[in-house]
Amino acid sequence: MMTRKLPIIAVATAPGKAGVGVIRISGAELLPLAEALFQKALPPRQANLLTLRDAQGESIDQLIAIYFAAPASFTGEDVLELQCHGGPQLLELVMKRCLELGKDQGLVIAEPGEFSLRAYLNNKIDLAQAEAIADLIDAQSEAAVRGAARSLQGAFSNDINSLIEEITQLRILVESTLDFPEEEIEFLENAQARERLSTVMKKLYGLREGAKQGKILRDGIQLVLAGAPNVGKSSLLNRLAGEEVAIVTPIAGTTRDRVKESITINGVPMHIIDTAGLRETGDLVEAKGIERSWEAIGAADLVVFLQDPSSTDKNITAEASELKAQILQALPPKCPVLEVRNKSDLLSESALNQDRNPCLLISAKTGDGIEALKQKILKLVGWGGTQEGAIVARRRHLDCLDRAATHLDKSQQFAADGNRSLELFAEELRLAQDQLGHITGKLLPDDLLGKIFSQFCIGK
């Protein structure tokens, strides 16, 4: 875990050319460094237009410097932000000059996520808020941006802390009765302990459902288009993307590798993967593409299995059934398969009227049925259909909420056993409380903290 107390420096803006590039410095007692850089004292929280010079007195850049005195800063330490012109070479020269003048103070280049880590360690933000910073930067849709912003402002943390407080009060109630075994049951019944536990569980389940929606907003959905050659997978990708991102020809086996395109459906990020047609082949290149198709299916959140209803060949129909069975075997746990029959535009009106197949019928060529397909996709991946009040959550958060729910379920069972299991009742409450504390970082191991913050970009 990154715990060093030396001052740190990093470029806080994205790599590449830009009008402005920001360099951030954080540490204890940065005023001497600021005075060494600009030969003047900087008043806190004021923008100063200054010239930075090299060791020979030559101008490097005219920039804006802002000094934030501890603890009124992002990290809780002294912070110096330099808003320079955004050329990569220029930023490198500014960094070099800062490191030269900060050598005596031990100024070093920051590790990934170290500014946010220091903010967390100095109680400026909790862990869920720190993660929301990275999620805000990486957001893939407007809904994800708004959800991450709500988490950063503390909406998710407040809900977690409220649950922790309710469990704490319930623990106090239960544990205070353990020294008086003759009065345990009557006391707990009068205090409505079981009813209060039910209320906590209801709130936890609601929060968990919201977190599932938040994970969808954060990570998006891996949607794989699978099927035999020439059933219209690439055409469907182009239709969903709204542009021609995959080559479409009448020749079976045109797509020989995965083609990936990211879109949003009703604000939900979708990473659509068009795969090579699944079949036996002696072509080495096509075989490699088919192997990658199976890998994509094995990592999918949802598989759309396309078929061609216009074909009357019984062999093709039998092959489709066999292919579906193979796909079901290759799926990750709980991954749904949506069967879709494409090319409805090739069916006669009488065939359409007689069709009793429960599969969704679409035409990637004309767009018929595409809106129904989108809604079915959203339903199968568990999207609740609302972005109002959504927060962004991670797999880690969901795992903690699932474990907390398991402990509360057990505590409810022990509470029903009466005075024979009150100690176990109290213990399960404690374990649930600990899991919720892991979300905000109150009880998280140091090695896991280091792993979480190391995934942040440098400068955050």
pLDDT at position 1: 45
Q: What percent of the chain has pLDDT over 90?
A: 47
H-helix or E-strand spanning residue 50: strand 48-53
SS3 278: coil
**Rounded Cα gap, residues 233 and 255, in angstroms:** 9
Domain ranges of the chain: 8-125, 130-216+392-441, 221-300+302-380
25 by Cβ neighbours in 10 Å (0-12 / 13-18 / 19+) ranks as buried
CATH of domain 221-300+302-380: 3.40.50.300
CA 446 centroid distance within chain: 21
Flag the least confident range among 120-129, 235-244, 343-352.
343-352
Residue range 49-68: mean pLDDT, rounded: 96
pLDDT at position 348: 66
From 101, 99, 119, 123, select the one nearest 109 (Cα to Cα): 99
Whether the CA torsion 282, 288, 292, 293 is positive or negative: it is negative
- pLDDT tens digits, one per residue of 172-229: 887 777 666 555 556 566 567 788 889 999 999 999 988 888 888 888 899 999 888 8
Tokens 């009065």, located at residue = 183
pLDDT at position 179: 64
- pLDDT tens digits, one per residue of 103-118: 999 999 999 999 999 9
Query: Strand locations in 333-384, DSSP E?
Result: 337-341, 360-361
Flag the least confident range among 342-351, 365-374, 402-411.
342-351
Cα–Cα distances in Å, from 133 out to 24, 65, 130, 145?
A: 16, 23, 5, 10
Class of domain 8-125: alpha beta
| Residue 419 reports pLDDT greater than 90 | no
Task: Identify whether 71 is preceded by a cis peptide bond (ω within 30 of 0).
Answer: yes
Cα–Cα distances in Å, from 273 out to 229, 241, 302, 303, 390?
A: 15, 11, 11, 10, 27
pLDDT at position 2: 47
| Residue 415 reports pLDDT greater than 70 | yes
Q: In terms of C-beta distances under 8 Å and separation of at least 24 residues, what long-range contacts does 344-353 make, across chains too?
A: 344/309, 344/368, 344/369, 346/310, 347/309, 347/310
- pLDDT tens digits, one per residue of 310-321: 665 555 567 778
Domain 130-216+392-441 CATH superfamily: tRNA modification GTPase MnmE domain 2 (1.20.120.430)
Q: Which two tokens stand for residue 26?
A: 């954080």
